[in-house]
Amino acid sequence: MSMTNQPSVIDESEFTVRRTIRIAAPIEKVWSAVTEPEHISKWFGRAEFDRAGVGARGTLTFPGYGDVPVRIEAIDAPRMVSYRWSNDDAVGLLPKEVDDGHSTVFTFTLEPVSDGTQLTVVETGFDTTSDPAANLESHRQGWDGELDKLVALLGSSS
Protein backbone atom coordinates (compact mmCIF):
# COMPACT_ATOMS: atom_id res chain seq x y z
CA MET A 1 0.00 0.00 0.00
CA SER A 2 1.46 3.36 -0.92
CA MET A 3 0.61 6.39 1.14
CA THR A 4 -0.14 9.55 -0.79
CA ASN A 5 1.49 12.54 0.79
CA GLN A 6 0.31 16.09 0.29
CA PRO A 7 2.70 18.71 -1.12
CA SER A 8 4.35 21.47 0.89
CA VAL A 9 2.40 24.60 1.76
CA ILE A 10 3.57 28.19 2.16
CA ASP A 11 2.28 30.57 4.82
CA GLU A 12 3.20 33.95 3.38
CA SER A 13 2.17 35.88 6.50
CA GLU A 14 4.47 33.75 8.70
CA PHE A 15 7.22 33.29 6.07
CA THR A 16 7.15 29.51 6.54
CA VAL A 17 7.05 26.37 4.42
CA ARG A 18 5.48 23.28 5.99
CA ARG A 19 5.00 19.70 4.88
CA THR A 20 3.68 16.67 6.73
CA ILE A 21 4.26 13.21 5.31
CA ARG A 22 3.77 9.62 6.41
CA ILE A 23 6.57 7.11 6.03
CA ALA A 24 6.10 3.34 6.25
CA ALA A 25 9.05 2.91 8.61
CA PRO A 26 9.54 2.96 12.41
CA ILE A 27 10.44 6.23 14.13
CA GLU A 28 14.01 5.05 14.93
CA LYS A 29 14.71 4.53 11.24
CA VAL A 30 13.28 7.91 10.26
CA TRP A 31 15.24 9.57 13.10
CA SER A 32 18.49 8.12 11.72
CA ALA A 33 17.55 9.30 8.23
CA VAL A 34 17.16 12.93 9.35
CA THR A 35 20.04 13.12 11.86
CA GLU A 36 22.92 10.86 10.80
CA PRO A 37 25.14 12.26 8.04
CA GLU A 38 25.56 8.95 6.21
CA HIS A 39 21.76 8.56 6.08
CA ILE A 40 20.97 12.22 5.30
CA SER A 41 23.36 11.88 2.34
CA LYS A 42 21.20 9.12 0.82
CA TRP A 43 18.18 11.37 0.21
CA PHE A 44 19.07 15.02 0.84
CA GLY A 45 22.40 16.74 0.30
CA ARG A 46 25.76 15.14 1.06
CA ALA A 47 26.01 15.85 4.78
CA GLU A 48 29.16 16.44 6.81
CA PHE A 49 29.28 17.64 10.43
CA ASP A 50 32.21 18.36 12.74
CA ARG A 51 30.55 16.45 15.60
CA ALA A 52 27.16 15.26 16.84
CA GLY A 53 24.72 17.26 18.96
CA VAL A 54 23.52 20.82 19.32
CA GLY A 55 25.96 23.37 17.97
CA ALA A 56 27.50 20.97 15.47
CA ARG A 57 28.53 22.74 12.26
CA GLY A 58 28.74 21.29 8.81
CA THR A 59 27.65 21.46 5.22
CA LEU A 60 24.98 20.02 2.97
CA THR A 61 26.36 19.71 -0.57
CA PHE A 62 23.98 19.67 -3.51
CA PRO A 63 25.23 18.83 -7.03
CA GLY A 64 25.42 21.94 -9.16
CA TYR A 65 24.59 24.17 -6.18
CA GLY A 66 27.50 23.95 -3.78
CA ASP A 67 28.17 23.61 -0.06
CA VAL A 68 25.43 25.07 2.13
CA PRO A 69 26.61 25.83 5.69
CA VAL A 70 24.44 24.19 8.37
CA ARG A 71 24.32 24.22 12.18
CA ILE A 72 22.28 21.99 14.50
CA GLU A 73 20.12 24.27 16.68
CA ALA A 74 18.11 21.84 18.83
CA ILE A 75 17.60 18.11 19.37
CA ASP A 76 15.00 16.16 21.32
CA ALA A 77 15.65 12.56 20.24
CA PRO A 78 13.85 10.84 18.60
CA ARG A 79 11.12 13.47 18.23
CA MET A 80 12.63 16.74 16.97
CA VAL A 81 15.76 18.12 15.32
CA SER A 82 16.29 21.67 14.13
CA TYR A 83 18.87 22.88 11.62
CA ARG A 84 19.82 26.45 10.65
CA TRP A 85 21.24 26.96 7.18
CA SER A 86 22.26 29.86 4.97
CA ASN A 87 20.53 28.61 1.84
CA ASP A 88 19.32 31.72 0.01
CA ASP A 89 18.50 30.76 -3.56
CA ALA A 90 18.29 34.39 -4.61
CA VAL A 91 21.95 35.03 -3.65
CA GLY A 92 24.61 33.56 -5.90
CA LEU A 93 27.41 33.17 -3.38
CA LEU A 94 27.13 30.73 -0.49
CA PRO A 95 28.72 31.89 2.78
CA LYS A 96 31.32 29.72 4.51
CA GLU A 97 29.53 29.90 7.88
CA VAL A 98 25.86 30.12 8.84
CA ASP A 99 24.86 33.80 8.89
CA ASP A 100 22.52 34.19 11.87
CA GLY A 101 20.99 37.35 10.46
CA HIS A 102 20.21 35.87 7.04
CA SER A 103 19.29 32.24 7.35
CA THR A 104 16.34 29.92 7.77
CA VAL A 105 15.67 27.14 10.25
CA PHE A 106 14.10 23.83 9.30
CA THR A 107 12.74 21.54 12.00
CA PHE A 108 11.80 17.90 11.61
CA THR A 109 9.18 16.63 14.06
CA LEU A 110 8.57 12.88 14.22
CA GLU A 111 5.54 11.10 15.60
CA PRO A 112 4.84 7.35 15.63
CA VAL A 113 1.58 6.42 13.90
CA SER A 114 -0.08 3.05 13.34
CA ASP A 115 1.53 2.39 9.97
CA GLY A 116 4.92 4.01 10.52
CA THR A 117 6.03 7.56 11.24
CA GLN A 118 4.51 10.96 10.62
CA LEU A 119 7.21 13.51 9.78
CA THR A 120 6.58 17.24 9.65
CA VAL A 121 9.11 19.74 8.37
CA VAL A 122 8.64 23.43 9.07
CA GLU A 123 11.12 25.94 7.65
CA THR A 124 10.96 29.45 9.08
CA GLY A 125 12.81 32.75 8.75
CA PHE A 126 12.31 33.52 5.07
CA ASP A 127 11.70 37.17 5.98
CA THR A 128 15.47 37.42 6.59
CA THR A 129 16.34 36.28 3.06
CA SER A 130 17.10 38.47 0.06
CA ASP A 131 13.85 37.64 -1.75
CA PRO A 132 11.33 36.01 0.62
CA ALA A 133 8.71 35.16 -2.01
CA ALA A 134 11.21 33.57 -4.40
CA ASN A 135 12.91 31.61 -1.62
CA LEU A 136 9.60 30.40 -0.16
CA GLU A 137 8.58 29.02 -3.55
CA SER A 138 11.99 27.50 -4.26
CA HIS A 139 12.11 25.76 -0.87
CA ARG A 140 8.47 24.64 -1.16
CA GLN A 141 9.42 22.80 -4.35
CA GLY A 142 12.62 21.57 -2.71
CA TRP A 143 10.86 19.95 0.25
CA ASP A 144 8.41 18.24 -2.12
CA GLY A 145 11.26 16.67 -4.07
CA GLU A 146 13.58 15.85 -1.16
CA LEU A 147 10.95 14.35 1.14
CA ASP A 148 9.53 12.28 -1.70
CA LYS A 149 13.02 10.76 -1.99
CA LEU A 150 13.01 10.04 1.76
CA VAL A 151 9.62 8.31 1.53
CA ALA A 152 10.86 6.19 -1.38
CA LEU A 153 14.10 5.32 0.40
CA LEU A 154 12.56 4.25 3.71
CA GLY A 155 9.23 2.95 2.48
CA SER A 156 10.84 0.54 0.04
CA SER A 157 13.16 -1.16 2.55
CA SER A 158 10.50 -2.27 5.01
87: domain CATH number?
Answer: 3.30.530.20
What tens digit of pLDDT does each residue of 4-61 get? 799 999 999 999 999 999 999 999 999 999 999 999 999 999 999 999 999 999 999 9
Residue 135 located in a structural domain: yes
The predicted pLDDT at position 1 comes to: 43
Which range of residues forms the domain containing residue 114? Answer: 9-30+73-156
Checking if the pLDDT of 158 tops 50, the result is no
Number of domains in the chain: 1
Residue 51 lies in a domain: no
Task: Tell me the per-residue pLDDT of 99-131, one tens digit each, with 9 for 90 and over.
Answer: 999 999 999 999 999 999 999 999 999 999 999
Residue 65 lies in a domain: no
Among 61-65, 81-85, 141-145, where is mean pLDDT lowest? 61-65
pLDDT of the residue at 107: 98
Residue 86 inside a domain? The answer is yes
For the cut 80, the answer to whether the pLDDT of residue 3 exceeds it is no
pLDDT of residue 119: 98
Task: Confirm whether 80 is domain-assigned.
Answer: yes
Beta strands, E only, the chain? 9-11, 16-23, 46-49, 57-62, 66-76, 80-85, 104-113, 116-124
Q: Is residue 54 part of a domain?
A: no
| Within a domain: 20 | yes
| Residues paired with residue 81 on neighbouring β-strands, in sequence order | 75, 108
Does a structural domain hold residue 64? no
